[in-house]
Amino acid sequence: MLIAPIPLEDRFLRLEPFNNELQAEVRAALDCDPDAWAIMVAPAWGEHFDGWWNSAVAAMRAGTRIAYAVRRLSDGVVVGTTSLYEINPAYRRCEIGSTFYRPEARGGAINPACKRLLLGHAFDAGAVRVEIITDAINAQSQAAILKLGAKAEGVLRKHKITWTGRARDTAMFAVIDDDWPEVRDQLDRRLAAFA
């Protein structure tokens, strides 16, 4: 499995791998909604942005993450970020996460379009498993993940420590290669409704 750090695009958005030219646009997209960052593992708004950006870029250099700016094509604005990370070629698995969208980009086509592109890219590269995890207290995120077609696999207790020091339980979901054709078709039908 070799997942290339290339741009991905559909009719709604373009996912652009992080580079220095994108830094200011990503900062502007993430520098909002402090309440939403409260339950994240790592914050990326305000004074936290530089450390978060540097960590993402270092993981990209190490080959364990592809961090993307999410550019909405209708107006060309970067409205958030998402990543393929925890990339493990030996096990042919990765995760989708570190996802944040500006409030006005939530709902609608942005999230399912991102997930369709990322899942397709991972499975086309030979992945057999793509995980999507979220905080067990985030019911809205869990509902969105289930709506994508991922299967719930349980809760990992005290799986991560958030930036606020809270021991986070993690709700685990996954799409495996056997699921992908059905999930892909479901996402394609869902996105067609936004045409």
pLDDT in tens, 101-156: 999 998 899 999 999 999 999 999 999 999 999 999 999 889 999 999 999 999 99
Contacts of 137 (CB under 8 A, 6+ apart): 39, 169
> If pLDDT is split at 50, 70 and 90, which confidence band does 45 have?
confident
> If pLDDT is split at 50, 70 and 90, which confidence band does 42 have?
confident
Whether the Cβ atoms of residue 112 and residue 126 lie closer than 8 Å to each other: no
Quick one: average pLDDT of 42-60?
A: 92
Q: What are 48's strand-pairing partners?
A: none
Whether the Cβ atoms of residue 35 and residue 42 lie closer than 8 Å to each other: no
Q: Sign of the CA dihedral 54, 58, 60, 66?
A: negative
Q: In what order do the strands lie in the sheet with 151-161?
A: 8-9, 13-17, 65-72, 78-88, 93-101, 129-135, 167-176, 151-161
pTM of the complete model: 0.93
